[in-house]
Amino acid sequence: MKMKELTSKNKHGKGRNCVITRRATFSASHQYWLPELSADDNSQSFGGCAFAPGHGHNYELIVSMAGQLNENGMVLNLSDVKHAIKKEVSSQLNFRFINQTWPEFDISKRSGSLPTTEALSRVIWMRLESKLPLIALRLYEEPSLWADYLGNDMEAFLTIRKHFAAAHRLAREELSQIENENIYGKCARTHGHGHNYLIDITVRGIIQERSGMICDLSSLQKIVEDLVIEPFDHTFLNKDIPHFKNCVPTAENIALHIADILKDPINNIGANLHKVHLQESPNNAAVIYAETPLLDNLNMVNIQ
């Protein structure tokens, strides 16, 4: 949904376009089990998530809405927003088994799907869209796994967060130490320095009607672990990763190299790599997009 550019009608902001967010939480359980599959196939497909009687999460929901400021300086009355989300979502799901709570996740019916993070975010949108001027939903299943839904039919985004520790030195071999220090400062010191990197891998795809998944989550996790985390963790990037012997391992270059590594393998499991967000420190981060940055074209406030 593209938002129109609006001009101010008065000094108080009436008539200006604005995006607001509301956070809500609920605790719920779910199970990944398809009756048309054997017990072995369910176990192989969904791992521990297939085990009865299911497992639970503390979900966090971020609802983004857009509109014009009214004479009260608000887009919407936040009390109305709070009650709409509570009535339509959190009060219905809190301390419930999702498979048996909402009919969309009744897997005994052929139209039912598994209550994955991405499928649940879509159904939440469907229940809120007539009540609130939605532009985006983000649903955290846990701090290292979340989905974004923008109202585009069956399309959704899924993000996994990983961690690795590595050292690097920022310097160009053709330059002198003084020249490198003029460009990179302390980061050019001879023996390098280290970071605890956080990496968010966001993929985009179509939610499958039965599995509720964009792609197989365990396969996605394995690709990132095998191709990035295991090779990069506890290394001196300049010396241990061949790519960085002739490429300065800035946060930007690291994120770009990771995107290049992951793009084709992720495509092979049925999804598209959307972006790589690499947090080098609390003060530094880089984002590389592998395709048009749809998530961040909404002029949303930062909901990360």
Give the contacts of 83 (CB within 8 A, at least 6 positions apart).
none
The SS3 call for residue 209 is coil
How do 96-97 and 17-30 pair as beta strands?
parallel
Task: Compute the C-alpha angle 160/162/168, nearest 5°.
Answer: 140
Query: Considering only CA atoms, which of 61, 86, 81, 71 is closest in space to residue 20?
Result: 81
Sign of CA dihedral 266, 280, 150, 138: positive
DSSP per-residue string spanning 54-86:
-EEEEEEEEEEEEEE--TTS-SS-HHHHHHHHI
Distance CA 202, CA 217 (A): 12
- Judge whether 215 counts as a catalytic residue: no
Residue of 57, 187, 243, 247 marked catalytic: 187
Distance CA 237, CA 168 (A): 5
**Peptide bond preceding 53: is omega within 30 degrees of 0, i.e. cis?**
yes
- Judge whether 280 counts as a catalytic residue: yes
Task: Compute the C-alpha angle 95/128/277, nearest 5°.
Answer: 80
Half-sphere exposure of 142 (CA within 13 A, CB side): 10
Beta bridge partners of 68: 17
- Judge whether 257 counts as a catalytic residue: no
Mind telling me the catalytic residues? 187, 234, 280
